[in-house]
Amino acid sequence: MGALLGLLLGAGLLLIWRSGPRAPQPGAVGTPGWLVRRTDLIRQAGIDGVGSGQLIGAQALAGGFALVLVVLITSTITVAACFGVFGFFAPVLVLRRMRRRRQVALRDLWPEAVDNLASAVRAGMSLPEGLSALALRGPAELRPPFGRFGAAYRASGRFGECLDALKDDLADPVGDRVCETMRVAREVGGSDLGTVLRTLSELLRSDARTRSELETRQGWVVNAARLAVAAPWAVLLLLGTQSTTLQAYDSARGTLLLAIGAAVCLVAYRIMLRIGKLPEDQRVLR
């Protein structure tokens, strides 16, 4: 009897723990892993021909370079180790910044691309022809992916596989929606495709205006918070000219102080990003 009660209690606690924010979400089975997310980061940053392994190599080189450089400046291993960790994560931060810039640029370009696609559909062009035409009449930054789609479709004639390749090439939530709309229209037909594309274009323009206003208002707050996090480490690096001052950090207490300071900066920075984060479109239509 006791074993049964214990089993029921454990099952109840498990159900409580799995409820709320930890509950499995629809489609969680296909949640991308760590390597897939890093690959998406590289593609969304607009960099071709670079994989996850090369990114890890670049991180190791950046971390090692920062470590050696700070050791030469300060002759203090503990301080150099902190900056080595910063250097290790620097390439990822650069990629995230490039991704944000590209997403902002694409946010303003997608309405024009969708309008061109709607015009092509209204003019009687087939869906593959309309998508391929964006390589000539679409926005300049979106032309290469659609050009590769057109070349792949002319070579194979397989619309579905070429759409999948286009989605991976674009690595963009709006591109996923456009590709899936084309797929559904190709498979089931329908006369409302032009209306759907025009409605999507209007929604994208409205979302771009709203998000631009919000990012402008919060930009100075986020930049001030980043400066506040970076300032102590910049002062620590400037102290490298005074070797007697930095000798204290080679002791056990100094190492503990640096570890606590790094942890506090990391937690504060993550909280700042969490508070100031705007909702972003996720790639749910992979």
**pLDDT 10s digits, 47-96:** 877 777 888 888 899 999 988 888 887 777 888 888 888 889 888 888 88
Q: What is the mean pLDDT of residues 223-239?
A: 79
What is the predicted pLDDT for the residue at 242? 66
What is the predicted pLDDT for the residue at 190? 61
Residue 259 pLDDT > 80, yes or no? yes
Q: 19 vs 188, which has greater pLDDT?
A: 188
Residue 257's pLDDT band (boundaries 50, 70, 90)?
confident
Cβ atoms of residues 208 and 106 within 8 Å? no
